[in-house]
Amino acid sequence: MKGEKDYCNLKGNEFMAYVASCSSLDHLSPRLLRSSSNKKGHQAGRRSCLQCCLGNGQLQAPSSLLMQEQCGAKRREIVLQLGFAALSLQGLASDALAETGGKEDLQVYVDDVNKFKISIPQDWLVGKGEPNGFKSVTAFYPKEDSTSNISVAITGIGPDFTKMGSFGKVDAFAESLVNGLDRSWQRPPGVAAKLINCQDANGFYYIEYSLQNPGEIQRHIYSAIGMAFNGWYNRLYTVTGQFVEDKSEGYRSKIEQAVNSFKFT
């Protein structure tokens, strides 16, 4: 589209600079989510095409070693993007205003456009939007506490990545993700990130970790990351459930159950 930067042609530091800019909370929050008056929470909006396809003709290497290095760099860039997205999405649920109704304890939210479904508590609110850097973001959160929430973020990725195994084993992937977030070594210290658990199951990488800013209560993160092809391009789905540690008893089981229920349709 005229006037928009072609992210498919960004290289190395240029791409990392873009990831850093689109990952800040200040950058994402102003018009992140629009509320919905229907039960499924679908609204049309501006499409933001972030295509992390660095494997184009401009990056063809003269040797297999250079090709391997570039492939590894692409993997690291996408992992870092996921990590920064986790930080960026912490505040998005408070911008969602739509409420769903019903009598059952759980409801199945179905997104027919983005081809996924997820079971969430019946009385949780739903918001949907398309902020910069994401093709779609959907948030679910309880009315009384927007600090505990679940988000489904979708980004486009290049043709080199066809399955989660393209990023390497889950252990290495999880360590790269969490280490990329950790800033506790800085002076003064920044956010402390700690990996708790990870596993590879049913085509998804499940990663559990904690984040804590200096002077703030620890935040617990539970994520499921999977990949799907929509007929035109590969898309990475990041399902992130989070709650502050002192509310673990009230939300841990609900959030883990919801994240584990996520499926492609």
93-128 pLDDT per residue, tens: 444 333 333 334 889 999 999 999 999 999 999 998
DSSP string, 153-167: EEEEE-TT--SGGGG
pLDDT of residue 42: 38
Q: Which residue has the tokens 């049309």?
A: 44
Q: Phi first, then psi: give them for residue 193, nearest 5 degrees.
A: -115, 135
Looking at residues 123-139, what average pLDDT do you find?
A: 85
Weakest-pLDDT range from 28-42, 73-87, 159-173, 199-213: 28-42
Residue 259 has pLDDT above 60, yes or no: yes
pLDDT of residue 146: 75
Q: What is the pTM of this model?
A: 0.66
Residue 201 has pLDDT above 80, yes or no: yes
pLDDT of residue 151: 94
Of residues 99 and 250, which shows the higher confidence score? Answer: 250
Q: How confident is the model at residue 136 (pLDDT cuts 50, 70, 90)?
A: confident
Share of the chain above pLDDT 70, in %: 61
pLDDT of residue 83: 52
Please give the structure tokens belonging to residue 185.
């070594």
Per DSSP, which regions of 34-124 are E strands? 34-35, 51-52, 98-99, 106-111, 116-121
Looking at residues 198-202, what average pLDDT do you find?
A: 96
Amino acid identity of residue 53, one-letter, is C
d(C-alpha 165, C-alpha 16), whole Å: 22
Share of the chain above pLDDT 90, in %: 47
Residue 254 has pLDDT above 90, yes or no: yes
- Mean pLDDT for the chain? 72
Cβ atoms of residues 137 and 41 within 8 Å: no
Residue range 7-264 in CATH 2.20.28.10: no
Task: Report the chain's C-alpha Rg in angstroms.
Answer: 18
pLDDT of residue 74: 52
48-66 pLDDT per residue, tens: 333 333 333 333 344 444 4
Residue 203 has pLDDT above 90, yes or no: yes
Provide the residue ranges of all domains of the chain, joining segments of one domain with +.
7-264
213-248 pLDDT per residue, tens: 999 999 999 999 999 988 888 999 999 999 999 999
pLDDT of residue 195: 97
pLDDT of residue 32: 39
